[in-house]
Structure 1
Amino acid sequence: MQMNLRETIDQSPMSAYQWAVIMMATVMNLLDGFDVLALAFTATAIRAEFGLSGTQLGYLLSAGLIGMSAGSLFLAPLADRIGRRPLLLISVALSALGMLGSAFVSDAVTLGFWRLLTGLGVGGILVGTNVLASEYSSRKWRSLAISIYSSGFGIGAVLGGIFAVALQKEYSWHAVYLAGALLTGLCFIALWVWLPESIDFLLSGRVPKATEQLQRICRKMGLKGNWEFVAPAQGVLRKPSVFRLFEKEYARATMLIWTAFFAVMFSYYLISSWTPALLKDAGMSTDQSITVGIMIAMGGTCGSLLYGLLASRWAARSVLILFTLLSAAVVVAFILSSALLWLAMLLGIIVGACMNGCISGFYTLNPSIYAAEIRGTGVGWSIGVGRIGAIFAPITAGSLLDYGWDKQSLYIGVAFVLLISSVALVFLRSRSTLRAV
Structure 2
Amino acid sequence: MNLRDFIDQRPMSAYQWLVVGLCGLLNALDGYDVLSMAFTGSAVSQEFGLTGSELGVLLSAGLVGMAVGSLVIGPLADRYGRRPLLIVSLIINGVGMGLSSMVSSHWELAAYRVLTGIGVGGILACTAVIASEYANNKRRGIAISVFTAGYGVGATLGGLGAAQLIPMFGWRSVFLVGAICTVVVLGLVIALLPESVDYLATGRHPRSAQIAASVARKLGIDDAPALPTVTQSTQKQSPGGVLSTRYRSQSLLLWASWFVVMFGFYFANTWTPALLVESGMTQQQGILGGIMLTVGGTFGALLYGTLTSRWSEKAVLIVFVILQSAALVLFITTTSVPAVAFSAGVVVGMLVNGCIAGMYTLSPMTYEPALRATGVGWGIGVGRVGAILAPLTVGALLDRGWSPVLLYVAVAAVGLLASVAVSRLRVGQAARLSGK
TM-score between both structures, scaled by the size of structure 1: 0.96
In structure 1, the partner of 2:331 is: 334
Q: Does 1:300 align with 2:297?
A: yes
CA distance in 1, matches of 2:306, 2:139: 9
Show the 5 A alignment for 1:250-399.
Answer: 250-399=247-396
Q: Does 1:26 align with 2:24?
A: yes
Give, in angstroms, the shift of residue 196 of structure 1: 0.9
In structure 2, give the amino acid aligned to 1:70: V
CA distance in 2, matches of 1:236, 1:116: 34
Q: Residue 235 and residue 318 in structure 1: after superposition, are their counterparts in 2 closer, same or farther (change >3 A)? A: closer
CA distance in 2, matches of 1:240, 1:41: 42
Give, in angstroms, the shift of residue 158 of structure 1: 0.7
Please list the CA deviations of residues 258-291 of structure 1 after superposition, one character each: whole Å capped at 9, or x if unmatched. 1111111111111211111111222322222111
Q: CA RMSD, aligned part only?
A: 1.6
Please list the CA deviations of residues 209-244 of structure 1 after superposition, one character each: whole Å capped at 9, or x if unmatched. 211111111011012335233787988721532x31
Please list the CA deviations of residues 282-324 of structure 1 after superposition, one character each: whole Å capped at 9, or x if unmatched. 2322222111111111211200000000012110000000000
Q: Residue 49 and residue 237 in structure 1: after superposition, are their counterparts in 2 closer, same or farther (change >3 A)? A: same
Show the 5 A alignment for 1:19-418.
Answer: 19-225=17-223, 227-229=225-227, 237-241=235-239, 243-418=240-415
SS, match of residue 227 in structure 1? coil
CA distance in 1, matches of 2:32, 2:205: 34
In structure 2, give the amino acid aligned to 1:337: T
- Name which of structure 1's ranges 253-262 and 424-433 shifts more when overlaid on structure 2: 424-433
The answer on whether the counterparts of 2:295 and 2:346 sit within 8 Å (CA) in structure 1 is yes
The answer on whether the counterparts of 2:369 and 2:432 sit within 8 Å (CA) in structure 1 is no
In structure 2, give the amino acid aligned to 1:221: L
Give, in angstroms, the shift of residue 98 of structure 1: 0.7
In structure 1, the partner of 2:427 is: 430
CA distance in 2, matches of 1:233, 1:387: 33
The answer on whether the counterparts of 2:201 and 2:230 sit within 8 Å (CA) in structure 1 is no
CA distance in 1, matches of 2:59, 2:166: 19
CA distance in 1, matches of 2:162, 2:115: 21
Give, in angstroms, the shift of residue 341 of structure 1: 2.0
SS, match of residue 430 in structure 2? coil
CA distance in 2, matches of 1:229, 1:304: 32
CA distance in 2, matches of 1:289, 1:432: 44
CA distance in 2, matches of 1:297, 1:88: 28
| Unaligned stretches of 5+ residues in structure 2 | none
CA distance in 2, matches of 1:419, 1:226: 47
**Percent of matched pairs sharing the same residue:** 47
Give, in angstroms, the shift of residue 32 of structure 1: 2.0
Q: Residue 235 and residue 327 in structure 1: after superposition, are their counterparts in 2 closer, same or farther (change >3 A)? A: closer
CA distance in 1, matches of 2:432, 2:232: 26
The answer on whether the counterparts of 2:67 and 2:381 sit within 8 Å (CA) in structure 1 is yes
CA distance in 1, matches of 2:232, 2:313: 37
The answer on whether the counterparts of 2:292 and 2:346 sit within 8 Å (CA) in structure 1 is yes
CA distance in 2, matches of 1:82, 1:245: 17
The answer on whether the counterparts of 1:36 and 1:119 sit within 8 Å (CA) in structure 2 is no
Q: Give the number of equivalent residue pairs.
A: 433
Q: Residue 368 and residue 235 in structure 1: after superposition, are their counterparts in 2 closer, same or farther (change >3 A)? A: closer
CA distance in 1, matches of 2:153, 2:202: 34
CA distance in 1, matches of 2:231, 2:33: 43
